[in-house]
Amino acid sequence: MKAQAEAEAERDGGGRPFGARRAVGVVAGCLTAPLGLLYFLVGGVVLGPLLSWPRTRAYALGVLGSGAGRLVGLERRRREHFFGDRFPEAYEGEGGALRYLAVRSATGLVCAVVLALLGFGVVLAVLLVGGVARGTIGAAELLTQLVLGGVLLFLGLQGLFALNALDARLARECFGPSERELLRRRIEELSLSRAAVVGAVDAERRRIERDLHDGVQQRLVALAMLIGRARRSGERDPERAAGLLGQAHREAQEVLAELREVAWRVYPSALDSLGLEEALGGVAQRCALPLRIAYEVAGPLPRPVETAAYFVVSEAVTNAAKHSAASTVSVRVAGAPGGPLTVRVEDDGRGGADPAGGGLTGLRGRVAALDGVLRIDSPLGGPTTIVAELPCV
């Protein structure tokens, strides 16, 4: 907000405040509007026969649009100079130059009429002040004139602001969003991605708590019971105690394996020590399905990109193993120096994955936090393909 206030308060090279520059831009728009209407009038007269004949209509529209493009370029420079808009260079616009020029010319003439009425009102106000000074206007007439003039001034200013807003909207449609509009959209995207990341982290924490409570904790309780039974029967039945201790040893090994699995889902330590390629190799080792991994990345990757890529692969492979009834899963991780990292996971399962599901929604939030894009293609009958593009800048 501070930066916006500074931009609004800055002055141009001639020492005029920014509001004065906008006012000059509005007046300039009123002066250029008749050029558009004159162009359509002359162009319609000259090219009218060609426009009415179907065989030459496309050529005539091309000629008419080419000339309109020059006038539209003048309007673009007016918006950039007087209103501070900066538009993308390669934006093609919506509706074409002819539509923009036609609507802009009409609104510009209406704006000129409103400005003329406001100017006429200023003249009447000066005459009214002169009449009051000379004593030729009574109190009742003065009050009537003030009320009527105030209402007309309000309506004129409202119309002027509405026409200015329409002019800005037409410019955005034809020239593309301005830098301020792009910044506003960027702030909205960041707010949404932040909320998605917070939601994904919260869901992940609940899943970890559920895994620990329903899995590891129950196994530890069972292990403690086995050891207790072995202690109680140690003197009376050594053979039974040995069997219980062997069962407890196997249960302890399974608990350790499950704890290791939970730790890998929280954050794989191999990412820090060995890198993404080795961490994905760990996913392949733990996967219940045959998993083929193609790693085609040259050079190191930023740590947040590595982490996001790992979790995309891990979550997609886990979903395929649990829900898709797939027989094989393939993973391809590719990226060139300076370009985005592309992660593609495909299985030959039955498809029908829900993009709004908890796991995929969490992945979309994690990818969006890095300005990446996650695409999910899972028609009924399969296959399911998940593609994540992660910028590495």
Which regions of the chain carry the CATH code 1.20.5?
200-266
Predicted confidence band of residue 202 (pLDDT cuts 50, 70, 90): low
What is the layout of strands, in order, in the sheet containing 384-390?
291-297, 329-335, 341-347, 384-390, 373-377
Query: What b/e string do you get for 192-225 counting C-beta neighbours within 10 Å, with b at 16 or more?
Result: ebeebbeebeeebeebeeebeeeebeebbeebee
Model pLDDT, residue 263? 61
pLDDT greater than 50 at residue 50: yes
Q: What is the SS3 assignment for 357?
A: coil
pLDDT greater than 70 at residue 265: no
If one looks up domain 274-390 in CATH, what number appears?
Answer: 3.30.565.10
- 230 CB neighbour count, 10 Å cutoff: 19
Q: What is the SS3 assignment for 337?
A: coil
Of 115-124, 243-252, 350-359, the range with the highest mean pLDDT is: 115-124
Model pLDDT, residue 237? 77
Model pLDDT, residue 260? 66
Of 189-198, 227-236, 256-265, the range with the highest mean pLDDT is: 227-236
Of 21-25, 43-47, 228-232, which gets the smallest average pLDDT?
A: 43-47
Tokens of 279: 């961490």
Q: Is the dihedral of CA 254, 318, 207, 268 positive or negative?
A: positive
Of 43-47, 126-130, 137-141, 388-392, which gets the smallest average pLDDT?
A: 43-47
Model pLDDT, residue 343? 92
* Residue that wins the pLDDT comparison between 365 and 96: 365
Tokens of 318: 């886990």
Chain segment 118-152, per-residue pLDDT in tens: 888 888 888 888 888 887 887 888 888 888 888 88
Which regions of the chain carry the CATH code 3.30.565.10?
274-390
What are the backbone dihedrals phi and psi of residue 369, each rounded to the nearest 5 degrees, phi first? -65, -20
User: What is the average pLDDT score of the chain?
Assistant: 78
Closest CA to 219 of 258, 255, 259: 255
Q: CA–CA separation, 124 vs 173, rounded Å?
A: 39
pLDDT greater than 70 at residue 89: no
Model pLDDT, residue 199? 67
Q: Which residues contact 26 (CB under 8 A, 6 or more apart)?
A: 111, 115, 160, 164
392, HSE (Cβ side, Cα atoms, 13 Å): 19
Q: Is the dihedral of CA 347, 349, 355, 361 positive or negative?
A: negative
Closest CA to 21 of 75, 86, 105, 79: 79
**Mean of pLDDT values over 145-166:** 86
**The CATH fold of domain 200-266:** 1.20.5
Model pLDDT, residue 34? 85
| Inter-CA distances, 295 with 234, 255, 277, Å | 54, 32, 7
pLDDT greater than 90 at residue 344: yes
**Mean of pLDDT values over 153-177:** 83
Model pLDDT, residue 387? 92
Model pLDDT, residue 267? 65
Is the pTM above the cut of 0.75? no
* Residue that wins the pLDDT comparison between 376 and 64: 376
Q: Are 65 and 96 in contact (CB under 8 A)?
A: yes
Task: Name the residue with tokens 């969003």.
Answer: 177
Of 152-166, 179-193, 237-251, which gets the smallest average pLDDT?
A: 179-193
Q: Which residues contact 108 (CB under 8 A, 6 or more apart)?
A: 29, 30, 32, 33, 34, 36, 167
Q: What is the SS3 assignment for 247?
A: helix
Q: What is the SS3 assignment for 350?
A: coil
Q: CA–CA separation, 392 vs 63, rounded Å?
A: 45
Model pLDDT, residue 5? 36
Chain segment 269-285, per-residue pLDDT in tens: 667 777 888 888 888 88
Please give the share of the chain, as a percent, with pLDDT higher than 90.
Answer: 4
